[in-house]
Homo-oligomer: A and B are copies of this chain.
């Protein structure tokens, strides 16, 4: 590893088979939950016109773009997020789709940031959006999806919580305190804990409010908006209410959020946010030059932060390991104990694979001992030994070391599948 030429670029990852299996586990859970919620998958290009991203409010992203000129002189950018592409696609095709749209996407995004734990320059995001439905019922559906994503990843009550608020609450506060420019006031709420107390007091003073007034507002649950109350009732009806907490300090940094906003917190690691989302009713119109003037609410989760969270949470780690055990790279290793039977072995391999079984084998002549070593390394639970007695074969359980004779029959795949489906104890008779 001394040679730098073997390394990926800083902030970019190689997914060797073990890492790729972790990634595929996340993909599998994300797709499964989205599917159960009736969301349809879409995908956008990885490269878009830079103009598309500069339209979006929020200056931070502009400095983090992987932006360049292509051979045709176009100013293009590796996508830093998906909403801009989503607005473009919906703007172009919206007459083709009955509203509301429930769409999800899973794919890589790119940001030029300092690489650190949980943050890379290439990361994978799960995005789910509901477009064309302004009711709180849509916010509740999206939050329920977020909760079920966490539960499906093996997180339990106590591991995580959804903290939600509604920007409408703060608009009421602004109106009651004669704050005429809420869009300048809200970023202060976002930084209540980050600013030094004296700086905060000074900045609040510009709006003629005190820290005490802000704290009193935050601590009074009566300040939950009607939409929040509806979301709570909706989640209670689903049996998911226990995961939702009102937290009026959640407003999310970006200017385009308009209504209910939420973040998923890790309850252990000093309440780190692991995913978030919210309502952005004006953004699609802005991004599509008015073509897709549709209310929307969306949610995004990145692979790196959630993987760290899984690996620090025993329930979730176990769930992931169980999935991997159910999805081994190889189920059966075929051992050619007599080279003169190789063609028979190839026929058996072809038959088993056609029957849906994952089979590996030595592609060239190799001693039987070495083949058993390969069988162990392959991760397969069983070895099938084809030798001079063929069509009689030996099926060995590689962990219990038990074995039994098995005959080459037309239903061999079903026979082997029954062994694979049985718990890993003594072989079935």
Contact = CB atoms under 8 A, between A and B. Distances in A.
Interface of A: 1, 3, 5-10, 12-17, 20-21, 23-24, 35-49, 51-52, 66, 68-72, 74, 76, 78, 85, 88-89, 91-93, 96-98, 100, 102-103, 108, 110, 112, 122, 130, 133, 135, 137-138, 140-141, 144, 148, 233-234, 236-240, 288-289, 291, 329-330, 342-344, 346-347, 349-350, 353, 356-361, 363-364, 374, 377-378
Contacts of A88: 5-6, 8, 14
Given A14-B89, A42-B16, A350 B6 contact: no
24 contacts: A1-B92, A5-B52, A6-B92, A6-B291, A9-B47, A9-B48, A14-B92, A15-B42, A15-B43, A15-B44, A16-B42, A20-B40, A20-B41, A36-B353, A39-B329, A66-B70, A100-B363, A137-B363, A138-B364, A140-B363, A237-B342, A237-B343, A237-B346, A238-B350
B71 A43 contact: no
Given A14-B88, A38-B360, A133-B363, 20 more contacts: A5-B49, A5-B88, A8-B44, A8-B88, A13-B45, A15-B43, A16-B89, A16-B97, A17-B41, A20-B41, A36-B359, A38-B329, A46-B108, A47-B122, A66-B70, A70-B112, A98-B374, A234-B343, A234-B346, A239-B350
B9 A363 contact: no
Contact of A289 (B3, B97, B238, B239): B3
Contacts of A12: 45-48
Contacts of A233: 343
* Residue of A10, A43, A74 with most partner-chain B CB within 10 A: A43
Nearest to A334: B38
Interface of A is mostly: mixed
Copies in the complex: 2
A51 B359 contact: no
A358 B35 contact: yes
Given A47-B122, A102-B360, A40 B66 contact: no
* Residue of A8, A38, A103, A234 with most partner-chain B CB within 10 A: A38
A364 B238 contact: no
Contact of A363 (B122, B138, B363): B138
